[in-house]
Amino acid sequence: MSIRQIHITIPSEAELPDILSSLTPEENYWMLKIGCDSLREGRRVTSSLTSDELYKKIEQDFKQDIEQLEQTIRTEQQTSLKMQDKMTSMYELQLEQLHRKLETAMSKIMGYEQESSASLETEIQKIKQKYELMYREKETQVARMTDVHEKLLVQLQTTKSTSHKGSEGEKKFEEYAEVFIDFKGYELADKHTQGGEGDFHLHFEEFDILVDAKNYKKKVPNDQREKIKKDLQKNEHLQFGWLVSLNTSIEKYDKSPIMYEWINTRQCLVYINNLCSFEDPKKILRIVWFTCKALHDMTKEVNFDEEEIAKLKDIRYKTMDKVRNLRKNIREINTSMNATRNLVQVMDDELKGMLESETNEMVASHVAIFDEWWDANIEVVSENTVSASTDLWTRFKQENKYVLTEMDITGDKFKQYLKTKVPMSAILLRSKNANAAFDIKGVHLKEVKDSKEEGSKEDAKIEVELNEEVMKKKKVVKKSQI
């Protein structure tokens, strides 16, 4: 077989496969032939595609991408709804558990009132108050948990981060601030990246303003007011501070759309509520600026005779700050007092344990007799049925008259036993006396069957016959002795 050599040009940066050097001339031929045929067919198919087909193919690919995105969004929404349902069921379960604990605690307190003597009644009242206080604290905790749950829902329902919302609010206020572009000496300085400087500084020829814009979905809290107040006091060269809430009101300063607060004789805070709700927010900012200018002019006209008044006002503002600090210390003292109350609660729980052990010891020696009689004579029914403790005691005495004296079973011990067999919520007191009779809900005395009556009669006859035989035997013994 003769061999022919050909020259092929390829790009200089292309890398040749390692297998190329090991191919035979025949394999080289088939490699070139198959590659050329494939390339020719590809060119033919590509050239046959029209512009409409290319457009349809691109449109189909785009639709597939859209469907994938929609599927992802639906999956995220379903996950969010499931998490919301799970959180709701969890908090409802916790609320139900708290109510059950409260009912159990209240029933125990009622039991202690009935079982304890007059000397413990005052202590039991205190225990009641402790449980009510604990319940209120639990309600407060539940309210806090609900707030946290609502915040989580807000975070799940929106993909915007807090920083993104803040930047949106800053951009919106920056747009509104363009209304001052024709004012003398106007200049807007962005300070949101610098701590303690607010979001913006508005510089004018007459005075300067510190601005803090809030894009909240709820009321602007008190800590944000304290923050801008500290920032303004830090920047003594700024005469005014604007706390601008774009979509909500400001806590404690929402009685009017615009409110003012002097923090000293030279600096004033302006609270602007729900700026975006106005028909023309820019016009509102111009009105606030002219009001600040009038206040600035008034403070500039203070003569030397009024300097003493200004000093007194400064002292007053400082005194108010000290009063606020004292209130904060009082809140901390209240927290310490709550901790002390918790310790007292622990002592009360130990006292309850002692009372429970004492009650259990009172009926422990006769539990077997009582349980056997209870199972044979008592039937659990609906709560609409009420039985008196005196009726149960009468039946018990009739059926166990031979063991009452021997076992020293009294009516008080029987009532203590009844209290251990039913929940305290089923006991209805007739009087405040702990040893008095009471009614029981949900239990009923079983009817006495005839077979039992006949059996008891036969037992009575046998007992009488046995007693007669014993008497006869005794008489015979006496005669023999004579």
Can you give the C-alpha Rg of the chain in angstroms? 46
Query: If phi over 0 gives left and psi between -120 and 50 gives alpha, with beta otherwise, what is residue 23?
Result: beta
Mean pLDDT on 2-24: 85
Q: Summarize pLDDT for 165-220 with one digit per residue, the tens.
A: 567 888 888 888 888 888 988 988 888 788 777 888 899 988 899 999 888 888 89
> 218-227, 369-378, 425-434: which has the minimum mean pLDDT?
425-434
Coil vs helix vs strand at 251: coil
CA 445, CA 377: separation in Å to the nearest integer? 6
CATH number of 365-447: 1.10.10
Q: Summarize pLDDT for 258-317 with one digit per residue, the tens.
A: 999 888 778 899 999 998 889 898 999 999 999 999 888 887 765 445 666 666 666 776
User: Are 243 and 274 in contact, with CB atoms under 8 Å apart?
Assistant: no
State the pLDDT at residue 272.
Answer: 92
pLDDT band at 481 (very low <50, low <70, confident <90, very high): very low
Residues β-bridged to residue 241: 210, 269
State the pLDDT at residue 54.
Answer: 66
Cβ count within 10 A of residue 446: 10
Q: Mean of the per-residue pLDDT values for the chain? A: 78
Highest averaged pLDDT of the listed ranges 7-11, 117-121, 339-343: 7-11
User: Are 71 and 64 in contact, with CB atoms under 8 Å apart?
Assistant: no
State the pLDDT at residue 273.
Answer: 93
Query: If phi over 0 gives left and psi between -120 and 50 gives alpha, with beta otherwise, what is residue 202?
Result: beta
User: Are 246 and 213 in contact, with CB atoms under 8 Å apart?
Assistant: yes
Coil vs helix vs strand at 204: coil
For the CA atoms of 135, 223, 213, 186, the dihedral, rounded to the nearest 10 degrees, stands at: 160
State the pLDDT at residue 240.
Answer: 92
Element of type H or E holding 134? helix 121-157
Give the C-alpha distances (Å, rounded to integers) separating 412 from 110, 377, 419, 437: 17, 19, 11, 9
CA 267, CA 299: separation in Å to the nearest integer? 10
Domain 163-301: top CATH class = alpha beta
End-to-end CA distance of the chain: 158
Sign of CA dihedral 346, 347, 352, 354: positive
- pLDDT above 70: percentage of residues in the chain: 78
User: Are 20 and 32 in contact, with CB atoms under 8 Å apart?
Assistant: no
Cβ count within 10 A of residue 342: 13
Element of type H or E holding 258? strand 258-262
State the pLDDT at residue 210.
Answer: 92
Residues β-bridged to residue 190: 200
Count CA within 13 A, CB hemisphere, residue 406: 5
pTM over the 0.75 mark: no
Residue recorded with tokens 């799970």 = 86
Q: Token digits for 144? A: 């806090």
268: nearest Cα among 288, 286, 287, 242: 242
To 10 degrees, what angle do helices 389-399 and 367-377 make? Answer: 110
Coil vs helix vs strand at 238: coil
Domain ranges across the chain: 19-48, 55-157, 163-301, 365-447
Residue recorded with tokens 């022919």 = 4
Mean pLDDT on 153-174: 68
Question: What strands, in cross-sheet order, belong to the sheet with 386-388?
Answer: 386-388, 438-441, 427-429
